[in-house]
Structure 1
Amino acid sequence: MSFEITILGSSAAVPVKGRHMTSQHVRIGNHQFLIDCGEATQHQLLEMGISLHKIEHIFISHLHGDHFFGLPGLLSTMNIQRRTAPLYIHGPRGLDEVLLASFKHSNTELNYKICLYDNPTMFPDVIFENDHITVETIPLIHRVPCTGFLFREKKKQYRIIPEKLPSGLPFDAFRALKRGEDIEFQGETIQFKDVTLPPRRSRSYAFCSDTKFSRSVISKVYGVDLLYHESTFMHRHLERANTTFHTTALQAGQIAKEAKVGKLLIGHFSARYGDLKVLLEESKTEFENTELAKEGRKFSIIERD
């Protein structure tokens, strides 16, 4: 099953040439998700060949414009293109008022249903779940209520070794063995551990949006395969980072190191930095396996034993 993140936007507060407002597309198996929706998100989706209509859930971290001003336009385009499938939006309290005012004053009547849910911002909570994954909020420290999102695969099933099974085994027996259950077949007990391999590791991706440096995040993202953490400023601008409730590249590296993550992506770059290599190099002083979350880049989390 695929697990891929595509970066649509990496800029903080305002766009700069070649850099757009925050947004990411997540594809896990047959399910597609959007995280944040800054201006020009729908343009970026079009540019990268991602269908608007295959997106099932949108997760909005907070109500600063660079993270959601693209949402009314995206929803309007879906409507013009006659979307019929329901769309599920998970965002902070107050997002409903913004959307309703936008639709009211533009005289827009949607052809499809929007299901809008308030994110808990004071404590972590599972806000979406299906047969394969959960999505949980990560409380963050910002000037307005803000959450990150943790995408985590559920525990996987045991893997059948076909050559170790007798012929004629019914389908229900296969399913029981994959669940880790012993079965009876033709008067004999077949132990699951004798005919299966252990489940593959469950994969995980954590998106940490705008936040002041906080070690409380570490326990929430501990051990994830891939961590995105905002890195708006270099550490020499720490005072500015603290004033605006943002994180430096150095601090993002520290969090990744202490949380023992597999890989760190940094983004949400201030417009003052034309050359992003300086932010990358600073983060790498704390956590070597760091990459820039730049527009168009795709990051796959590979399935491993």
Structure 2
Amino acid sequence: MSPAGTAEEAVGPEEAWELLERARMLTEPALRKAVARLPEPVRPLAAYHFGWRDADGDPAEGGWGKGVRGALALASARAVGGTAEQAVAAAAGVELVHNFSLLHDDLMDRDATRRGRPAVWARFGEGPAVLTGDALLVLAMEALADEPGAVAELCEALLVLVGGQGADLEFETRGDVRLDECLRMAAGKTAPLLSAACALGALAAGAAPERTAALRRFGHHLGVAFQLTDDLLGIWGRSARSGKPVGADLRHRKKSPPVVAALASGTPAGRELAELYLRGTGPLDDAGVRTAAELVERAGGRAWAEKEAARQRAEALAALDAGAPAPEGARALASLAGLITAGRER
């Protein structure tokens, strides 16, 4: 067993936030340099999305997210005996891909808010938002072009991500979604990029295949736990703190894992939720969203998602331990895992 491969030896949440901030400081110059290369019609929109410009193109102090995926890449390089600096291109690449996916997801899900501001599609239009997302994907491929095996790793992750997002859209028109396929959908939406981030960090540091594979598994299970935590925050979080529209998934009757677990519970609350959720096609009103959240909890959907997130987190830490990580990098990865699956907002 590695010296730092367990959650108990991870640093506390404040130190983990500091770890994320240091990773962001290391990654942001590469992101800014990449975005600066975009042509004029797209560059201001990308800068707006990242929080560097306001809607009028003037400098702004907004944030571009927690930078979790980039931080995982940097920490993974350290976990295999390399340095964070070796993985800056990998960190920038996965953050560019993540933000590409956010631009498209906001449009597909009709989420008008991102990071406390109007989403790009809501402020500038649907076509410009799609084009901006496409441009970020191109920048990501360019960032990773000189890294051995990196583009193939990322492309494999993207194919899984597309499958997960496609299933999410398909589920909106189905009333018979099973819990097992819902969990696969959730894994497909989030786990691929976290898994790729860890593998890319390891590859950048020249890790052996077995250590890269262990970190890839760590990222996969962490991604599932992260998505489940995000689903929980999407129902019971606070929009003012998370910057995301709480209740949006319920409003649009999306089949997230907590909802499907509740629908499959066989409980009176589950049957009542089905009556509310599966009949009708329009968005739920505010009262309907509140009722749906209460019914999901009463039917056990919240408890199931919390338990499954904890199980996936434990699987992630076991995979990390199996890769015999270097103590400092393992400590960082375990700390990040604890932070992003704890349901905390900041």
Question: Under TM normalisation by the shorter chain, which class is it?
Answer: under 0.3
Q: Normalized against structure 2, the TM-score is what? A: 0.25
Q: Normalized against structure 1, the TM-score is what? A: 0.28
Higher Cα Rg, which structure:
1
Where is the helix percentage greater, Structure 1 or Structure 2? Answer: 2
